Structure 1
């Protein structure tokens, strides 16, 4: 990635100082948020790819890397990028806050009138960035990239399939399959989601929950510049379960439906015992089955009511930071979301 010349840097600083003197705060048109963890092989390449694509559409932009406790040279490399280009910013977390909270925190801290979210490992194609910007400028509040295919083993495919099926069955809103959250969102959409104060935000689901119009763009996953993915079966399973729990109040009510089914079976068995008594047959098995099913009815009824109460408590007590920051680089004091 080419360095800014001293003349370009001086002009940029003069412009900022002039705007501060006028009492104005100028934010970029687009902020690109890049989530990373142990991506020393990809950090510089993804920054160069983003810069090239964003400059091709004449966009006033900046880039926020958020590092989720890397143990390699990722932070060191991104800091060097920050020193060479003031448009590149860095947030370093105090620890690993997970795949939901860390990227969302960067999105909330973005200053652009639109925000693009993507990963540093090239699972999201930088080639789509100009089209994202074009559609957003045309008035579309949310544009998402949808992967056309996923090359993964049978276990990961099964987990992904199960996740989508459960969310479709129990979810409060429809999830877009193979849309990971890679896309562009208007700042108004981000502000609406931020007001929800979700402690573990399933961001791709929350985008749908807002009700804003969504357009999708299919794409093929590009090749990584280097290294290997941090995701495995267990991290993806955890992500799927957290997403399902965060986007589905219906799942917490599922035990109530099971309780209703057992209640119906209890009534059937009681009716069978009455019929057996009138016909001179043994009623013991019927009564035993009714008693057993009645106990299951009470058990699942209790679990269902408990689940509903947990959901209500969660809705009323959402008030915690998504991450704790160790440091920031290249964030001016007057940087804020438009």
Structure 2
């Protein structure tokens, strides 16, 4: 019988974990597969780990990993997927915005021959208009900037086949943007559409600052367009500066050089200084990522491990 592992990263999700597991358990009971669940506690500060331990004790199909600290969701996902031994894995968040009841539809497409089946949001309930607008702008910007096609309005909720999991294990870069990595490996991919629900309990860990950082991570990981943009902006600024310098020279030769133009001089200096700092900032982002990669630190450390008691 084919085997399926559901990987659930969790960070301070004590308010919703029991409800999530109950809904997930009912879904897995109805699947004609050998199923287990793997929770990954990403260094939570509440009682998330104790709740996970109680779920492991009550359900023999449940296992868990506890990371030594908060490494971030991308690292927690990687830890969970690295531990999967099954024929396929489903990645889903514990906040119940992504419904576990959609898993059978993902499995159906996997059994039809697809290696990556991603869940695309047709609606985003419980989110502000500004967040929906910025999310749409990000995905559409990535379409234009990146050579890797990243599906619109698609999070981490998806199913990965065994060979897709094996391919991901070969990608050990430290600056990880999992949505891009899922697409970069290729293979046969398809979408299943659903309506995203509001968070059932607790609070989101993704404020606008962290979302902005994630957007920068995605753009710099899968596109060199900001570097090219800095080059073209620098060339344009240099062209304007040379043209203006030639104008000032000709004007001084023909009409003399009265002491005027102080505001213009300040504006030009500030403009060129701003362009230079912008270019240096873009270069610094890429240089910082190269520095992080060169250290070759492990992606995560596991403090505790609980394995399912039921045979896989």
TM-score w.r.t. the length of structure 1 is 0.76
State the secondary structure of the residue aligned to 1:122: coil
Match of 2:204 in 1: 229
Contact 1:124 1:182 in 2 (8 A): yes
Contact 1:28 1:62 in 2 (8 A): no
Q: Spell out the pairing of 1:166-205 with structure 2 (5 A cutoff).
A: 166-205=141-180
Measured against aligned partners, the alpha-carbon deviations of 1:217-264 in whole angstroms (never above 9, x if no partner) come to 111123555444344333433333333333333224432222122122
Match of 2:121 in 1: 147
The more displaced of 91-100 and 126-135 is: 91-100
Match of 1:329 in 2: 306
State the secondary structure of the residue aligned to 1:181: strand
Counterparts in 2 of 1:312 and 1:249: CA distance versus 1, 3 Å? farther
Matched, 1:132 2:109: no
Contact 1:269 1:290 in 2 (8 A): no
Matched, 1:77 2:54: no
Matched, 1:119 2:93: yes
Matched, 1:54 2:31: no
State the secondary structure of the residue aligned to 1:185: strand
Gaps of 5+ in 1: 1-26
Matched, 1:272 2:247: yes
Counterparts in 2 of 1:78 and 1:252: CA distance versus 1, 3 Å? same
Measured against aligned partners, the alpha-carbon deviations of 1:114-167 in whole angstroms (never above 9, x if no partner) come to 111001110111121111111111111111111112232244334424433543
Q: Spell out the pairing of 1:306-321 with structure 2 (5 A cutoff).
A: 309-310=287-288, 312-313=290-291, 317=294, 319-321=296-298
Measure the CA separation in 2 of the matches of 1:141 and 1:183: 10
State the secondary structure of the residue aligned to 1:180: strand
Match of 1:217 in 2: 192
The more displaced of 182-191 and 293-302 is: 293-302
Matched, 1:206 2:161: no
Counterparts in 2 of 1:28 and 1:82: CA distance versus 1, 3 Å? farther
Measure the CA separation in 2 of the matches of 1:296 and 1:229: 35
Quote the offset at 1:105 in angstroms. Answer: 1.7
Contact 2:127 2:198 in 1 (8 A): no
Quote the offset at 1:304 in angstroms. Answer: 5.8
Quote the offset at 1:282 in angstroms. Answer: 5.9
Contact 2:226 2:282 in 1 (8 A): no
Counterparts in 2 of 1:261 and 1:76: CA distance versus 1, 3 Å? same
Counterparts in 2 of 1:39 and 1:204: CA distance versus 1, 3 Å? same
Counterparts in 2 of 1:331 and 1:257: CA distance versus 1, 3 Å? farther
Contact 2:122 2:194 in 1 (8 A): yes
The more displaced of 155-164 and 305-314 is: 305-314
Measured against aligned partners, the alpha-carbon deviations of 1:155-208 in whole angstroms (never above 9, x if no partner) come to 433442443354344334233222011010123223323322121311111112
Counterparts in 2 of 1:291 and 1:126: CA distance versus 1, 3 Å? closer
Counterparts in 2 of 1:318 and 1:243: CA distance versus 1, 3 Å? farther
The more displaced of 60-69 and 94-103 is: 94-103
Match of 1:240 in 2: 215
Measure the CA separation in 1 of the matches of 2:306 and 2:55: 10
Measured against aligned partners, the alpha-carbon deviations of 1:29-67 in whole angstroms (never above 9, x if no partner) come to 211101112323322332232232233231112110011
Measured against aligned partners, the alpha-carbon deviations of 1:40-96 in whole angstroms (never above 9, x if no partner) come to 332233223223223323111211001123333322222122123232101112222
